[in-house]
Amino acid sequence: MILGLDISTSITGATVIDDKGNIVFCEAWDTRKIKGFFDKATYIKQRLLAIKVDYPITKIAIEQSLQMFRAGFSSAKTLTLLSKFNGVISWLCYDLFELEPEYVSATSARKQVGIKVPRGTKAKEVVLEHVNKTIPNFKYELTKAGNPKAGTYDRADSIVLAKYAHLTSVC
């Protein structure tokens, strides 16, 4: 079984797929209200332990943290925090599952899964549309404003990572 993780200090998407590529677990772990870096990491560790009990994970795919600045996006402080958190969660995965995670860029994962993001469109929206069309049991709710509820994009991203890992281990 494969675990795909879209790690963030606010919401982490987690998907487990079986050897046939079927989704058997898909959640968004909301840590926005948890104060403190290590308290957030402890919460994620508890969720990972629950996965370890229920699923014999043989491969882990984690979205590679951002490596460079882009105008209008994250600051140096935010990128550093995300990289630190990604590292801590990566270590937890290694420690709990005794597997070294594979780091995948979002672009590479989307390409392998067959998602093309046209210029000028938001990748998260294109990914969600693809997942919604190709995964029959993928359900999500909308806010009153008609937007996907928090965690929806993170779940979709974690599905893409897990599917990437499945496709690259089958080929």
pLDDT at 71 over 50: no
pLDDT more than 70, % of the chain: 93
Residue 152's SS3 state is helix
pLDDT in tens, 24-55: 999 999 999 999 999 999 999 999 999 999 99
pLDDT in tens, 89-108: 999 999 999 999 999 999 89
pLDDT at 136 over 70: yes
pTM above 0.85, yes or no: yes
Break the chain into its structural domains and give their ranges.
2-170
Give the pair of three-digit tokens for residue 105: 């860029």
- DSSP assignment of 100-148 equals PPEEE-HHHHHHHHT----TTS-HHHHHHHHHHHH-TT----B-TTSPB
Instruction: State the DSSP code for 21.
Output: S
Q: Which amino acid is at 123?
A: A
CATH topology of domain 2-170: Nucleotidyltransferase; domain 5 (3.30.420)
Q: Could you tell me which of 1, 26, 4, 11 has the C-alpha nearest to residue 109?
A: 4
pLDDT in tens, 73-91: 556 777 778 888 999 999 9
